[in-house]
Amino acid sequence: MSALPVLGAGGWGTALAVNAARNGPVRLWARRAEFARTLAGQRVNAEYLPGVTLPAGLEVTAHLGEAITDAPFALVVVPSVGVPDLLAALPRDLGVVLCAKGLAPDGGQLSVLARQLGFTRVAVLSGPNHAEEIGRGLPAATVVASRDGGFARSVQAALMTPGLRVYTSDDETGVELGGVLKNVIAVAAGLVDGLNLGDNAKSALITRGLREMNRYLTALGAREETVYGLSGLGDLVATATSRHSRNRAAGEAIARGEHPGQGGKVVEGLRTAGLLDAWAAAHGHDLPIVRAVAHVTRGEWTPGDGVARLMEREAKPEQH
């Protein structure tokens, strides 16, 4: 049995590797050789996933070629900005499962980029999945989506454990982009928390944010049922409300006038907001929460300005 490569040793990559190691051997690839040696020696990722022991069946390496040896597919679990370079270094006959919840540098889908680079077996993984909980084996569910149903089922078999229920889908666009947009809404939810605007405001924000997700995803060909599934509504609720959410915490920090960085950890929603705002402007779509977050994170509006502009929009029916 070949080892499953998990490419990226941040919190999410480590959690997926620990989960998959319950089914068989896993090779966790870390970009920095010194970091890989630390993980292999200490058997814990104290920097990104403290308190979770790396099981015996999980091997750590800094050699990319060694990580993917004899493997039919690999989980790509680096931040979205690092995905293009990593894909460029991989053989095109390797199946790739894209686990980053972000966009390509041009604002397009990472799955589209992968196919443009010549990969034929491509899948995306998304859902309400906090690394801190999955690494500890707490119950969770996720979705793996691919145009290739057989490939999706292979990934499902590799990742399904008593603690992680894995569903399949053929709506690649819906699953991938739901994970992208919910990060921006979660930043907005953090702004609400940081400004102490209350539960009514946060509930309204999440609900209207779901409408924006539906507008964006269906415009790009996603199915509406995906928007209201695990990778849409499910992920939005988790990311907008959890204490584990980097995006929510970043919004809260901005509202307090603090820097949103968290020890060098990537906050995908901060970058994504600007890309989605540009897309909406270019294509004539109305994404007011996205627009507010983009202006606030660029320092063009204060958090209070963003709230005021959302509240003062023209009156309209709820469904239109």
- Please determine, for residue 52, whether its predicted confidence score (pLDDT) is greater than 80: yes
Dihedral of the alpha carbons of 242, 244, 248, 252, in degrees to the nearest 10: 110
Kindly tell me the burial class for residue 94, based on how many C-beta atoms sit within 10 Å of its own C-beta (0-12, 13-18, 19 or more). Answer: middle
- Spatial neighbors of 132 by CB under 8 A, at least 6 apart, are 11, 15, 49, 244
Catalytic residue among 27, 182, 291, 295: 182
Q: What does the pLDDT look like over 98-126, one tens digit per residue? A: 999 999 988 999 999 999 999 999 999 99
* 11 annotated as ligand-binding: yes
The sign of the torsion formed by the CA atoms of 14, 20, 21, 25 equals negative
Average pLDDT value for residue range 47-63: 97
Average pLDDT value for residue range 73-83: 97
* 265 annotated as ligand-binding: yes
- Spatial neighbors of 295 by CB under 8 A, at least 6 apart, are 277, 301, 305, 306
Using CA atoms, how far apart are residues 84 and 68, in angstroms rounded to an integer? 17
Query: pTM of this prediction?
Result: 0.94
* 293 annotated as ligand-binding: no
**How many Å is the Cα radius of gyration of the chain?**
19
Are residues 185 and 236 in contact, defined by beta-carbon separation less than 8 angstroms? Answer: yes
Whether residue 316 lies in the annotated active site: no
* 316 annotated as ligand-binding: no
Relative orientation angle of helices 172-194 and 246-255, to the nearest 10 degrees? 30
- Please determine, for residue 173, whether its predicted confidence score (pLDDT) is greater than 70: yes
Tokens 């269906």 correspond to 218
Q: What does the pLDDT look like over 60-71, one tens digit per residue? A: 999 999 999 999
* 92 annotated as ligand-binding: no
* 10 annotated as ligand-binding: yes
The sign of the torsion formed by the CA atoms of 21, 37, 125, 269 equals positive
State the pLDDT at residue 320.
64
Start-to-end Cα distance in the chain: 53
Element (H, E) at 12: helix 11-20
State the pLDDT at residue 106.
87
Q: What does the pLDDT look like over 229-285, one tens digit per residue? A: 999 999 999 999 999 999 999 999 999 999 876 556 789 999 999 999 999 999 999
Using CA atoms, how far apart are residues 266 and 246, in angstroms rounded to an integer? 8
Three-state secondary structure call for residue 97: strand
